[in-house]
Structure 1
Amino acid sequence: MRRSCLVLVALIVLCNCLKAQSVQLTVNTAGNQKINKEIYGHFAEHLGRCIYDGFWVDEKMNVPKQGRIRMDVVNALKKIKLPLLRWPGGCFADQYHWSDGIGPVEKRPKTVNSNWGMVSEDNSFGTHEFLQLCDLIGCEPYIAGNMGSGTPQEMSNWIEYLNFNGQSALADLRRKNGHDKPYNVAYWGVGNESWGCGGDMTPEYYTDNYKQYAAFCKNYPGAPLKKVASGANSEDYNWTEVCMKNIHPWQMWGISMHYYTVVGNWEKKGSATEFNEEGYFKGMKNCLHIEDLINKHSAIMDKYDPQKKVALAVDEWGIWTDAEPGTNPAFLYQQNSLRDALVAASSLNIFNNHCDRVKMANLAQTVNVLQALILTDKEKMLLTPTYHVFDLYKVHQDATLLPLNFTSPDYTFGSEKIPAINASASKDASGAIHITLVNIDPTKKITVNTSFGGANLNSSEAQIVTSGKFTDINTFDQPNKVKAASFSDFKKNGNQLSVNMPPMSVVLVTLK
């Protein structure tokens, strides 16, 4: 009898565990919000080996090149339909004087990159080179203007140089430097991190400066500007309050917010590759915190802009760890693990679900810096786990958001817990439905049972990004350890879909 009771108790516990590992998810197929493709933007700063040795290489390097632009990097970014690239910074933007980077390369002055390692900047990669890079990728440029050490006149001149199609000294100089037609650059950041490296300003001082700069940022014929105010650092809600109160919505296209996932503290952020489950859990918990920030900053914006005309631009985000041992710590070179892929996928799901306010986001940074998509070593190049997430998620660009309703089981570590499942869904112009699912639990398979209402869905296919350990990375010796693969552990029955999510996995299901 005692043995039978023990068996019964064991069965009850097992049943409860199985029940806890199942999610009921409903997709509303009548969405009306667009997921701006600019949410899938990226960031390239003059920092470490992002520009130099990343995009811009020695002319003698034996790789396919357009001038000195590395084409295998370009082609990888074209594949994921990179929509927007932010440049030249970052902190570098507020010490950058654009006139140093135009004209004959041999006549450009050498300057000091005082933010990132006190290294020499030869200015061989400047405005024309950046815009050529954007043209090769097929993406929109997003230029961060210099408010910290520049002047309104300097930024005004840069815009005229790039966007004016008539006769003027600056437009003629652009033509002399090889580009007859205007570039018509729309996205302009008015300062960067003005609360910190961009000038240590108070929000009141910044908003007065913003209005002065913005007044001289002119809309030339055929080139209306989308001006982005330098917004808050993480939980600085007062900064958003003051900016929204003092700057009229019609004076800006968007306001930025910066947030980095840090596992430890700013002095010792934690290793990119050597961490245990505690480091994994903290990384995922801190990643998910970005939704709290978006909710609170959006609520402040709603007070002054209830029609949501001003975009929240999360134009710096991603996981920031300690630099790899043996590398220059000022160059911020870090490896990229499966944990980082889950951080990227979860963040993108959050951005998608808040696309009524979040209209732009820029992962930091594209090549060889922070949560990079691509790492290079001389002629070698590899795609990181994060790259493969962006490759899956490109289906959401400019698609219609489909709202979801579900309650996630918890991933528990010690006395703390976070949602194990996150997701977003969209419908593209062809009518195909795409749902991206993330299971961050490192040990449990979770079944997601999904209902699509009255949608008429005939075919389905799926892809997955996962690996055996959350510390798994791609290396130049083993570049394909973590990558996207075909996935078949799901069933479709009419308008019902059941997906068996492995631990630590990102799954894209497409239904037509």
Structure 2
Amino acid sequence: MTARRLRRAAWLVAAVLAAALPAAGTAAADTPAATVTVNVRAGLATMPDTGVGANHAVWDSQLGTDTVADLLGGAGVRTLRYPGGSYGDIYHWKDNTAPGGYVAPNTDFDTFMGGVRRAGAQPIIIANYGTGTPQEAADWVRYANVTKGYGVRYWEIGNELYGNGHYGANWEADNHADKSPTAYANGVVAYADAMKAVDPSVRIGAVLTTPANWPDGIVGSGDSATWNQTVLSIAGPHIDFVILHWYPTGSTAAEALATTEPVSDMLFQARQQITRYAGADSGRIGIALTEMNTPVGLNTQPGALFAADAYSAMLENGVFTVDWWDVHNGGTKLSTVAGYPDYGDAGLLSSATCLEGGACEPALNTPFAPYYGIKMFSAFARPGDQFVRAGSTDPLIAAHAARRPNGDVAVLLVNKDPDQARAVTLDYAGYTPAATAQVSTFTNGATSFTTSSGPAGSQTLPPYSLTTLVLHPAPPVTAAPAAPGQPAATATDRTATISWPAAAPGGHPIAKYEVYRQAGAVSEQWGESTGTSLEVGNLVPGSRYTVNVLARDTAGNVSWSSPPLTFTTGVPATSTCTVRMTDVNDWASGFVGSVHVTATGVVGDWTLTFTWPTARQRVTSGWNGTWTQTGSTVTVTSSASLAAGADPGFVADYGGPNILPTAFTLNGVLCAAG
């Protein structure tokens, strides 16, 4: 981790790595087949103008150069982070120094801003918490936005401060005597107050731990709660966004490419924590993923596939920026990945590093494969597009889709199979495309895209490839109503009342609204209303639901979908039993849990049942009862008296976010919260 952030790039020019562009080929008789469903009724987040980002660093001698700025702008990078990871906590902007680290010439803040403007991007700045002061940060805001008029909006308070030694690992500089989350949270408040006193329009971000990533869930020595709970409880009313970093693990390309699966749960849990701990009006707090990279194929095709898939997954779930680590990083070790040289270089562009044994990277600033993955994503999803649900019957095919303001739909298809093509049939729900689409493909080893026309309903995806289709609506195109506004819900254990702002009519009056539940890549209509609310029943207690609202006019024209609403049903206010589950001791991949059960009228044997919210949670042992798990359903049987309460406990593993269940049944009776 330290090496990734503190690397001193060796700018040695080497020969350009030549790569041939394989032909896409046609589907053979034995080509595996898959079906991709694109559901335009199931709207997700809207693509922000800050969505595609990358990290820039003061140790990078190419920072701010025209060549790099033009490459980044050409890939659609619209956010650049400075001064570079852990350097943020040792960097002093006034004299462009970082004691203990290397600062390359011509990398000061003004040079950085010149590159940002040339790239057509905007900055995210790390204010030095570790070795700086609130006054130093406020002076930077004054220089940037008052003196120079740069209009720098987003400011992070430090970088990965949970790595300051408080939890054992110590890579982040922090000169404060108190290194607890409480001290950091109070520091964030001081920084926010000082910086907003200079420019009230700035947006302040606080560092959180990423759900299911160390040290998430851990309560440190002397603390009363986890890092996230503590920071949000104290700093929540003073911040505008939170900062997550994500470096998924995996020893093979296949494992690395599967790591995007739990992203929606990861962000759901982060949003839950914000809602629970950050105080009133917590919905205003955004989520920024300001560092991300792949564990395998750092500069070869798995990295490109991961980049396109991960940017899609993060942004369709409401993150407002995803910033790749890093523009330049330098090679570490030569290997062969997917048939091509991989230098272990986390940069988007070559540093021209020569490694032990004489192997050298391509010429300085040669784009690596992840650069093209990001460029493909930028061509797929543009600011203002609304992501919509897409799903595949083949786990080796990832599918994402977005609807554009002009009525076009773009589809991104990722073939994660390194050896075989896939024959894909595309089905469209809530949308009728014209027969022909624009098709762009990026294949293994390529250094550009191929673009042609192709059928909207079927595609053959080359092995290890990215494919984007841009579809036009089939005529006639009519003036549909505008989309309804952001829905809200009030839920009980088995019912929910969903309400929404009215939609503006198009060419005809609005006749009704239709409410759809997202069920994977398809939608289930829950009901319709001529007003702006709908009550639904027969829901499952303790379950998560995501819904959209569409408007239909008197001519049958249907609007875009509303923004998504995700809510969770509860449990009864009263019952003959109560249950409370507690995470007693967590180590970010497993935990010790305690369940407190009380009941009246239960004599003799009893059975407690609950279902894990994800498929990645499993009980490994238990006590004070007999524990069994089948699929995601857990049962505990015992004959202990419940009059004064029983306390069965367990140990569980989890891979991905550890979302605790909230609904429990005792002998078939749904219990209240304990």
| TM-score (normalizing by structure 1) | 0.70
Give the Å deviation of 1:346: 1.4
Q: How does 1:322-401 map to 2 (within 5 A)?
A: 336-355=299-318, 358-369=319-330, 370-377=345-352, 380-395=364-379, 396-401=381-386
Q: Is the 8 A contact 2:38 2:401 kept in 1?
A: no
* Change in 2 beyond 3 A, CA 1:76/1:30: same
Structure 1: gaps of 5 or more residues: 1-13, 56-68, 102-109, 115-119, 165-170, 172-180, 265-278, 322-333, 410-418, 473-480
**Letter of the 1:367 counterpart:** H
In the alignment, is residue 510 of structure 1 matched against residue 470 of structure 2? yes
Give the Å deviation of 1:80: 2.0
* Change in 2 beyond 3 A, CA 1:27/1:307: farther
Give the Å deviation of 1:320: 4.6
Residue 208 of structure 1 aligns with which residue? 186
% identical aligned pairs = 20
Instruction: For residues 24-56 of structure 1, give each alpha carbon's deviation from its aligned partner in whole angstroms, at most 9, with x where no partner exists.
Output: 413215737311132211111234xxx21x33x
Residue 25 of structure 1 aligns with which residue? 37
* Change in 2 beyond 3 A, CA 1:316/1:365: same
Structure 2: gaps of 5 or more residues: 1-27, 164-170, 218-225, 331-344, 354-362, 473-674
The structure 1 residue matched to 2:232, chosen from 244, 251, 262, is 244
Instruction: For residues 230-258 of structure 1, give each alpha carbon's deviation from its aligned partner in whole angstroms, at most 9, with x where no partner exists.
Output: 1215351433333332223x522210111
**Hey, what's the Cα distance between the residues in 2 that align with 1:23 and 1:299?**
33
In the alignment, is residue 38 of structure 1 matched against residue 50 of structure 2? yes
Instruction: For residues 253-299 of structure 1, give each alpha carbon's deviation from its aligned partner in whole angstroms, at most 9, with x where no partner exists.
Output: 210111113434xxxxxxxxxxxxxx222222345454443333233
* Change in 2 beyond 3 A, CA 1:287/1:337: farther
Give the Å deviation of 1:301: 2.5
Q: Is the 8 A contact 1:315 1:361 kept in 2?
A: yes
Residue 97 of structure 1 aligns with which residue? 92
SS of aligned partner of 1:441: coil
**Letter of the 1:187 counterpart:** Y
Residue 153 of structure 2 aligns with which residue? 186
The structure 2 residue matched to 1:152, chosen from 124, 129, 134, is 134
The structure 2 residue matched to 1:128, chosen from 106, 110, 117, is 110
**Letter of the 1:505 counterpart:** S
SS of aligned partner of 1:383: coil
Instruction: For residues 148-188 of structure 1, give each alpha carbon's deviation from its aligned partner in whole angstroms, at most 9, with x where no partner exists.
Output: 00111111111112222xxxxxx4xxxxxxxxx42221110
The structure 1 residue matched to 2:450, chosen from 469, 481, 485, is 485
**Hey, what's the Cα distance between the residues in 2 that align with 1:85 and 1:195?**
23
**Hey, what's the Cα distance between the residues in 2 that align with 1:147 and 1:29?**
45
**Letter of the 1:215 counterpart:** D
* Change in 2 beyond 3 A, CA 1:380/1:203: closer
Which of 1 and 2 has higher RCO (CA within 8 Å, sep 6+)?
A: 1
* Change in 2 beyond 3 A, CA 1:307/1:374: same
**Letter of the 1:448 counterpart:** V
Give the Å deviation of 1:376: 4.3
SS of aligned partner of 2:156: strand
Give the Å deviation of 1:122: 5.6
Q: Is the 8 A contact 2:54 2:323 kept in 1?
A: yes
* Change in 2 beyond 3 A, CA 1:155/1:287: same
Q: Is the 8 A contact 1:27 1:402 kept in 2?
A: no
SS of aligned partner of 1:217: helix
Q: Is the 8 A contact 1:288 1:346 kept in 2?
A: no
Q: How does 1:467-482 map to 2 (within 5 A)?
A: 467=444, 472=445, 481-482=446-447
The structure 2 residue matched to 1:143, chosen from 121, 125, 129, is 125
Q: How does 1:423-442 map to 2 (within 5 A)?
A: 423-442=399-418
Residue 177 of structure 1 aligns with which residue? none
Give the Å deviation of 1:500: 2.2
Residue 593 of structure 2 aligns with which residue? none
Q: Is the 8 A contact 1:340 1:371 kept in 2?
A: no
SS of aligned partner of 2:254: helix
SS of aligned partner of 1:403: strand
The structure 2 residue matched to 1:86, chosen from 67, 81, 85, is 81
**Hey, what's the Cα distance between the residues in 2 that align with 1:160 and 1:345?**
37
**Hey, what's the Cα distance between the residues in 2 that align with 1:359 and 1:33?**
9
Q: Is the 8 A contact 2:437 2:455 kept in 1?
A: no
Q: Is the 8 A contact 2:390 2:401 kept in 1?
A: no
Give the Å deviation of 1:309: 2.0
The number of equivalent residue pairs is 396
* Change in 2 beyond 3 A, CA 1:28/1:187: same
In the alignment, is residue 258 of structure 1 matched against residue 225 of structure 2? no
SS of aligned partner of 2:209: strand
* Change in 2 beyond 3 A, CA 1:84/1:228: same
Q: Is the 8 A contact 1:85 1:141 kept in 2?
A: yes
**Hey, what's the Cα distance between the residues in 2 that align with 1:505 and 1:296?**
31
Q: Is the 8 A contact 2:47 2:315 kept in 1?
A: yes
**Hey, what's the Cα distance between the residues in 2 that align with 1:307 and 1:156?**
25
SS of aligned partner of 2:398: strand
In the alignment, is residue 74 of structure 1 matched against residue 41 of structure 2? no
Residue 308 of structure 1 aligns with which residue? 283
Residue 324 of structure 1 aligns with which residue? none
Give the Å deviation of 1:22: 1.6
* Change in 2 beyond 3 A, CA 1:405/1:393: closer
Deviates more, 1:203-212 or 1:438-447: 438-447
Deviates more, 1:184-193 or 1:423-432: 423-432
**Hey, what's the Cα distance between the residues in 2 that align with 1:133 and 1:425?**
31
RMSD, matched Cα? 2.9
Q: Is the 8 A contact 1:318 1:371 kept in 2?
A: yes
Q: Is the 8 A contact 2:81 2:125 kept in 1?
A: yes
SS of aligned partner of 1:99: coil
Q: Is the 8 A contact 1:31 1:402 kept in 2?
A: yes
Give the Å deviation of 1:207: 1.1
**Letter of the 1:438 counterpart:** V
* Change in 2 beyond 3 A, CA 1:440/1:291: farther
**Hey, what's the Cα distance between the residues in 2 that align with 1:500 and 1:303?**
46
Highest CA radius of gyration, 1 or 2? Answer: 2
Q: Is the 8 A contact 2:44 2:317 kept in 1?
A: no
Q: Is the 8 A contact 1:27 1:450 kept in 2?
A: no
* Change in 2 beyond 3 A, CA 1:463/1:46: same
| TM-score (normalizing by structure 2) | 0.54
